[in-house]
Amino acid sequence: MENKKEMRNWLDAFKLEHPFVIAGPCSAETEDQVLKIAHELKDSDVSVFRAGIWKPRTRPGGFEGVGEIGLKWLQKAKAETGLLMGTEVATAAHCKLALEHDIDVLWVGARTTANPFAVQEIADTLAGTDKIVLIKNPVNPDMALWLGGVERLYMAGIKNLGVIHRGFSTYQKTKYRNIPEWQIAIELQNKFPDLPLIIDPSHITGNREMILEVTQEALDLNYDGMIIETHIDPDNAWSDAAQQVTPDALKQIFKDLKVRKVSGDSDFENKMTKLRANIDIMDSNLLELIGKRMAVAKEIGQVKKDNNVAVLQNSRWNEIQGKVLDAGAKNGLSSEFTTKLFKAIHQESIEHQEKVING
C-alpha cells in the first residue's frame, strides 16, 4: 500500500460540503419499506442508501435477510431517487449478485473481516472493480487483522477503498454495544491518512439516543463520514430496532452536528484538533476507569464492615505506593506527580469505604 493517495479519489469526487453519509435500514424488509425510506432520504445530506440483504445473526432462528430479491428493491430505489445503493457482502456469491445488480457500495462486515480466508475470497471476486469497497473493523480489537483486510482488497486491484469503525466486542458491561476503542481507529488514521474513515455509531452504541454524541466525537477526530441505520418505524424493525433512527431524527442529527471549519494553517489546525479530541476521549476513559476503581473500593468497604476491620490499612497503602511509583516511572511520570495522583485516589477510596461502613 505504498501509493495510498489514489484511494481517496472516490471521496473527493463527491465534492461534498459536509461529511459523507450512508443511511438506510439495518435490513431490507419489504419493497414498500425500502422505497419509502429511500424517498425520505433523497433530498437530505445522504449520498448512499444502505440496506442489509443478507443478515447472518449471532444465533440461528432470527431474521437473516430477504436475500437476492432485496437487490431488485435497491435497483428500483436507485432508479426512483438517484441515490447510490450499498449493502454488506460476506461471500463470493453475495459479491457476484451485488455486482450483477449494480450495487455501488459494498462493505465487509466485522465478523467477515475477522476471517482472512473469507476476505481473500471477496477480494478475488471483486478484483479490479471500480465499486467503492469498505471494510469494517473486526469484532476483536486487532489492528493487524483490520489492516490485513484492507491490504487484501488493495492487492486485488480495488482502489476505491475505505474503512468503517463500528466498535469492538467486550465482555464488560459498558454504555456501548461495542466499545469504540478510539485509539485503534486513530492509529489507523495516522498510518493511512488518505484512507477514508467512516464512523458507524449505530453499532457502537446500540442505542439511537447516543448516535449524535458518538458521531460528533468522530467528526472531532476528523472522520470522513458516517453510516447510520435509519428506518421509518424503528421500534418495529425486523433487526436491531433500538439503534435505528427515523429519517426526521437523522435530519435533526445533521443539523445538530458541529462540523469544524478550518482556517489559517490547516495542517496545524487539523493536527491540533485531532490531538485535543484524542485527549478528551482519554480523559473520559480515565474518569470512567477511576469510577470503576471506586466501585471496587466500596466492595472492599463492605467486606471490612462485615469483618469489623478498620478502613485504613497502612501496610497496604505502602505496598500500593511502591508499585505505582515504579509503574509511573516506566510510563515517564515523575514520582512527585504519581504520588500526588494516588494520594488523591487513595483518599477518595477511603471516603467511599467510610460511607459504606458508616452508612
CA separation, residue 52 to residues 83, 280, 285 (Å) = 16, 34, 33
Q: 137 and 35 share a domain? A: yes
Interatomic CA distance for residues 9 and 13, integer angstroms: 6
What digits encode the pLDDT tens for the residues 270-328? 777 778 878 888 888 888 889 898 999 899 888 888 888 877 777 777 787 778 888 88
Q: 244 and 292 share a domain? A: no
Percent of the chain with pLDDT over 90: 60
Task: Determine the pLDDT at residue 264.
Answer: 52
Q: Which of 259, 276, 295 is the last residue of a domain?
A: 259
Cell numbers linked to 345: 485516589
Nearest C-alpha neighbor of 359 from the set 299, 295, 291, 302: 302
Which residues have CB under 8 Å from 300's CB, separation 6+?
353
Flag whether pLDDT at 263 surpasses 80.
no
Nearest C-alpha neighbor of 148 from the set 174, 112, 176, 179: 112
Q: Which of 259, 281, 305 is the last residue of a domain?
A: 259
The DSSP code for 138 is P
Between 315 and 155, residue with greater pLDDT: 155
What digits encode the pLDDT tens for the residues 13-36? 999 989 999 999 999 999 999 999
Segment 45-59 shows an average pLDDT of 89
CATH code assigned at 304: 1.20.59.10
Mean pLDDT of the chain: 90
Q: 254 and 272 share a domain? A: no
What digits encode the pLDDT tens for the residues 78-121? 999 999 999 999 999 999 999 999 999 999 999 999 999 999 99
Interatomic CA distance for residues 345 and 297, integer angstroms: 10
Flag whether pLDDT at 340 surpasses 90.
no
Q: 304 and 201 share a domain? A: no
Interatomic CA distance for residues 40 and 100, integer angstroms: 26
Between 224 and 358, residue with greater pLDDT: 224
Q: 51 and 155 share a domain? A: yes
Instruction: Return the amino acid letter for 175.
Output: K
Q: 124 and 236 share a domain? A: yes
Percent of the chain with pLDDT over 70: 95
Instruction: Return the amino acid letter for 177.
Output: R
Residue 91: is it exposed, middle or buried by C-beta count within 10 angstroms (0-12/13-18/19+)? middle
Q: 225 and 319 share a domain? A: no
Flag whether pLDDT at 248 surpasses 70.
yes
Residue 340's domain spans which residues?
A: 267-358
Q: How confident is the model at residue 146 (pLDDT cuts 50, 70, 90)?
A: very high
Of 73-82, 173-182, 240-249, the least confident: 173-182
- 3-state SS of 42-86? CCCCCCEEECECCCCCCCCCCCCCCCCHHHHHHHHHHHHHCCEEE
Interatomic CA distance for residues 200 and 141, integer angstroms: 15
CATH code assigned at 99: 3.20.20.70
Q: 43 and 189 share a domain? A: yes
What digits encode the pLDDT tens for the residues 1-19? 554 545 557 998 999 989 9
| DSSP code per residue over 266-283 | HHHHHHHHHHHHHHHHHH
Q: How many domains does the chain have?
A: 2
Q: 285 and 149 share a domain? A: no
111's enclosing H/E stretch is: helix 110-113
Rg (CA), the chain: 24
Q: 214 and 319 share a domain? A: no
Give the 3-state secondary structure of residue 252: helix
Interatomic CA distance for residues 128 and 125, integer angstroms: 9
Whole-structure pTM value: 0.78
Residue 103 near residue 86, CB atoms below 8 Å: yes
Q: 234 and 271 share a domain? A: no
Q: Which of 203, 236, 259 is the last residue of a domain?
A: 259
Residue 134 near residue 195, CB atoms below 8 Å: no
Flag whether pLDDT at 178 surpasses 50.
yes
Q: 230 and 341 share a domain? A: no
